[in-house]
Structure 1
Amino acid sequence: MMPTTVPKNIDKYFFNRTKDIKKINLQISSIYEDLPNQLLITGNRGVGKTFLLKKILHDTDKKTLTAYIDISKIYSTNKKVTEEEILKEMLSSIYESLRQKQSVFKNFEDNLKNIIMNIKLHDYEFTDAASIFDIPIPKIKENYKALSKFVMELPQKIIDTSDEIDAFILVFDEFQFIKHVENPEAFFWLFRSYIQDQSNVCYIFTGSVSKSADIIEDINGQRGAFAGRMIQIDIEAFTKEETYKYLNEKAGDIKFTDDGFDRFYKCTRGIPAYINTFCNVLDSGKIYDEEMIKESFMMKMDQIVIMWLYIWGNLNDYEKTIIKILVDEKQLTWNTLLEKTGYSKSTLTKYIDSLNNKAILGYSNDNMYMINDMMLVTWLKHKKETEGQYPL
């Protein structure tokens, strides 16, 4: 079976990405020279950004702490994302990182307690219901400023107070969910204001967002918090040659004729998530030609596009309507979409922005909107043909 999520044994299933690793590590290495770069890693859904970054974090040296914060976990748990919840998740991840290095944590524990007790002097009350570092964390009353200052300064303070740690890398996965906080622009500026005074901390933001998504502009556009200063790296799908090598190395018992492999690549487009889920519905010992691949794809489509089943189920009716219209029409201008949906201008703008930030919509050079992922289009068309309607 091929992994459909990031496996515990990262090295067993990790493949290639040598150039991407070198490119990202080159930028990260600046933290050891007191010149930290901040990174924005983008790419289509399922292309392997999370796997790649977890591999990079896994391979860091012993004097580098790493923390991984998944913003989508906050959203799925609470159905909303707030600045406070993100800061608390940062604290949890920093704690988990320190927990892996007990000697560092023991040396830092007294300093940490002193910092927290100083916060207690401000407008906070403590509660036993929320405990990190085995110490109660503040429950917010009014002084959000003090909490954000504590959390944002913590990574550099850990480095400064420990001879065993040289650098800290924090990854914020699915960062597009930050768009749901009350004031995302101000929150990005919060990061910028503290990052510019830190010498050995690298922040990596990553997510499945369209290149035209407004959250890209919010964080790294000319008027965004980082104003183009973040190093932006786009992760591409596997080429046809890379896909062939990947299958030989990781799923060598699945065989193809030449036209069978060509069709397999056209179906998956080199996206590792689709390659893996498609391989999991194929049988070892068979030699798949083009017709067999087509048949397997149509029969097992729900298993192959499993990530879209979850995403579709979490879209609202406004978003689904826009997608259905674009599946039927292939591509439309904003004005035509406005006419066909019957939405107000503000409503259409709101939900187009939402779909852009979820990497579902694309925007062509001739000012046309279309679905960004053909696998989603194929699945929806198949559902309509076989069941008489689009999924609810």
Structure 2
Amino acid sequence: MDEIASITDTNLTETQFYNRADEINMLSSLLGTTEFNSSPTILLTGIRGVGKTALIKKIKHKFDKEYLVVDIDLSRSNAYQQKKLSRGSIIKIIYDAIIKASKEFGLRTLDKKIEKYFKTNKFKIDKILSYEHIPVPVFESEENYARLADFVMELPQKIYEDNSDKLKGVFIFIDEIQLIKDLDNVDKFLWYMRSFIQNQKNVAYLFCGSMSLKDSLINDLNGKEGAFGGRMLTIEIHPFSKQTTREYIESIPRNILLDDGGFERFYKCTRGIPYYINIFAKILPENITLTENNIIELFKDSIDYLAVHFIFMWSKLTFQEQKIIISLLGNPKRRIEIANTLEVTSGSLNRPLNRLLDFDLIEYVNDKYQITDPILTYWLQNSHEKNGIYPFRSI
């Protein structure tokens, strides 16, 4: 019998993947039009932990027998992990993912066509590595970036045209798209991508990111003045409702018992976010009816597990950024109020506030800044309650 999904597991079994039938049907219908030259460009958004990546994996498995599905996770790339994410590295990430997906699908003639392209276009190549007999070039300089980028962006369409007898279309899924905010000239890069995407047939793009609809990148992508100018379909994945959360808990192959007060507190703690539900449910004892007070105490004991992502992020923040978040624990504040609390000038907060917004640790609502996720608030408050201080220096 399946256990509760691991907090890092995105390839879920039928039992572990719960609900989302409406989202699956909607995305499947939209993507299915790719077969008929009507290729959608989709932006899938939602707060971290709501299940976007697991949903993408589910869609991938549904289509990968008839479509070439290129699944890219920017956060798992070497370039991002080594803090070297650039326009060139993203193009290389896309290229590598296309090659890998093509090989797995069994498109055997791709290697010769790519090799011919590099030989006939006089690229300055330092050396050519091989991914299962398919050439992967290593360039000696950045001089070839423009031509290589054009080639990579045109490659999905070329693959479809050369294999239309085997493929109904090509899907390019790019997960953790919010990470491109690290790039210089993000807007320019998005307009560049759009110049190719808008002209492609039988090739659909799905961008996925952990961000709210208030995120500045949404406007850069699909705002009135954005690269895609409203032509991108934006779909927000929401947390589970109370009823769905209750049904999900009852479906879990552990005998978790909650009275009405216990369930209400459980839902308040997890807010219907599958990531938090799974972590908390793994910790709850079985065969004991848990009350509201039980859940409150268990929640305090498990907060370090629930907040593991924020603990990692916290350790990467500057002292001033940490102090800004601490200042917001009581209530949302205007910029001038934060400045007064920290005894600094308002202008000195530009960079740290923008970084915290980019990290999705705070958000700007009704002219005030506030902490995005209550779990971060609970963790900091709990740390102060236990230790008498906030964890500024070490975790």
Fold agreement, TM-score > 0.5: yes
**What percent identity do the matched residue pairs reach?**
32
Within the candidate set 55, 58, 73, 2:58 is matched to: 55
**1:90 alignment partner AA:** I
> How far did 1:76 drift?
4.6
Q: Which runs of 5+ in 1 are unaligned?
A: none
Deviates more, 1:210-219 or 1:335-344: 335-344
| C-alpha distance 348-129 of structure 1, shift in aligned 2 (>3 A) | farther
RMSD after superposition:
2.0
Q: Does 1:113 align with 2:115?
A: yes
| C-alpha distance 133-297 of structure 1, shift in aligned 2 (>3 A) | farther
Q: Which runs of 5+ in 2 are unaligned?
A: none
Q: State the partner residue of 1:86.
A: 90
Q: Does 1:68 align with 2:71?
A: yes
Q: Is 2:219–2:226's contact at 8 Å kept on the other side of the alignment?
A: yes
Report SS of the residue matched to 1:238.
coil
**1:84 alignment partner AA:** G
| C-alpha distance 343-114 of structure 1, shift in aligned 2 (>3 A) | farther
**2:14 alignment partner AA:** D
Q: State the partner residue of 1:371.
A: 371
Q: Is 2:68–2:101's contact at 8 Å kept on the other side of the alignment?
A: yes
> How far did 1:100 drift?
1.7
Q: Is 1:254–1:283's contact at 8 Å kept on the other side of the alignment?
A: yes
**2:349 alignment partner AA:** L
> 1:169-214, CA deviations, whole angstroms, 9 ceiling, x for partnerless residues?
1111111110111221111111101101110111111111232222
Q: State the partner residue of 1:244.
A: 246
Q: Is 1:36–1:200's contact at 8 Å kept on the other side of the alignment?
A: yes
> How far did 1:356 drift?
2.2
Report SS of the residue matched to 1:193.
helix
Q: State the partner residue of 1:182.
A: 184
Q: Give the Cα separation in 2 of the matches to 1:149 and 1:389.
A: 53
**2:51 alignment partner AA:** G
> How far did 1:80 drift?
3.4
Counting only pairs closer than 5 Å after superposition, residues 3-152 of structure 1 correspond to structure 2 as 3-74=6-77, 76-102=80-106, 104=107, 106-119=108-121, 121-122=122-123, 124-128=124-128, 134-139=134-139, 140-152=141-153
> How far did 1:222 drift?
1.2
Q: Give the Cα separation in 1 of the matches to 2:378 and 2:171.
A: 39
> 1:332-384, CA deviations, whole angstroms, 9 ceiling, x for partnerless residues?
0122223334555555233323322332222223x111111111111111111
User: How many residue pairs were aligned?
Assistant: 386
Report SS of the residue matched to 2:283.
coil
Report SS of the residue matched to 2:68.
strand
| C-alpha distance 362-380 of structure 1, shift in aligned 2 (>3 A) | same
**2:104 alignment partner AA:** Q
Q: TM-score, normalised by structure 2?
A: 0.92
Report SS of the residue matched to 1:226.
coil
Q: Is 1:138–1:147's contact at 8 Å kept on the other side of the alignment?
A: no
Counting only pairs closer than 5 Å after superposition, residues 195-344 of structure 1 correspond to structure 2 as 195-327=197-329, 329-342=330-343
Q: Give the Cα separation in 2 of the matches to 1:309 and 1:131.
A: 37
Report SS of the residue matched to 1:111.
helix
> How far did 1:133 drift?
5.8
